[in-house]
Structure 1
């Protein structure tokens, strides 16, 4: 890797890292709102007396028809968070590696 390549990458990667971090934090926020909507629906269903099961399994079964779409949405948001986290950490490691390479180039 040439010095000019390292310099160029060091100029580009921080912006890519910033973008990846913004996407990651947005995904976390969307996940939190999806969890909030699910909890709100669960409270609504319980408040309406639609859940009367004697044990946890029965209560989950009674809750399912009312919350299955929201639960699926939470799962999709969790997958998105994991995907965006990978991208964020990739650029973070890339920047760290470029900084190490740049330091080594100044020594040599």
Structure 2
């Protein structure tokens, strides 16, 4: 890697890291909201007397038709959180590597 390439990357990567971090925070917030909506729907179904199961498995089976889409949404958003976390950590490592390369180039 040439010095000019390292300098250019050092200028670009922090902004990419900032964007990745912002996307991660948004994904975490979206997941929290989806979990809240799911819990709200579960409470609504229970309060309406639609759940009469005598054990946890029966109750979950009775709630399922009312919450299926919300549960799928929570799963999708959890996956999005993981994907954005990977992106964030990628840019963190890339920046650290570039800084190390820059230090080594300054010694040479």
TM-score with structure 1 setting the length:
0.97
What's the offset of the Cα at 1:79? 0.9
What does residue 43 of structure 1 align with?
Answer: 43
Matched position secondary structure for 2:26: helix
Residue 105 of structure 1 aligns with which residue? 105
Q: Which residue pairs with 1:80 in the alignment?
A: 80
TM-score normalised by length of structure 2: 0.97
* Equivalences, count: 108
Q: Distance in 2 between matches of 1:93 and 1:12?
A: 14
Q: Residue 2 of structure 1 corresponds to which residue in structure 2?
A: 2
How big is each residue's C-alpha offset from its partner over 1:22-51, in whole Å with a ceiling of 9 and x where there is no partner? 111101110000000000001111111111
Where structure 1 has 5 or more consecutive residues not aligned to the other structure, the ranges are none
In structure 1, C-alpha distance between the alignment counterparts of 2:87 and 2:59, rounded to whole Å:
38
Which whole-Å CA distance do the structure 2 matches of 1:94 and 1:74 have between them?
Answer: 30
Partners of 1:52 and 1:100 in 2: CA distance: 62
Task: Tell me the C-alpha RMSD between the 2 structures.
Answer: 0.6
User: How many Å separate the matches in 2 of 1:66 and 1:5?
Assistant: 55
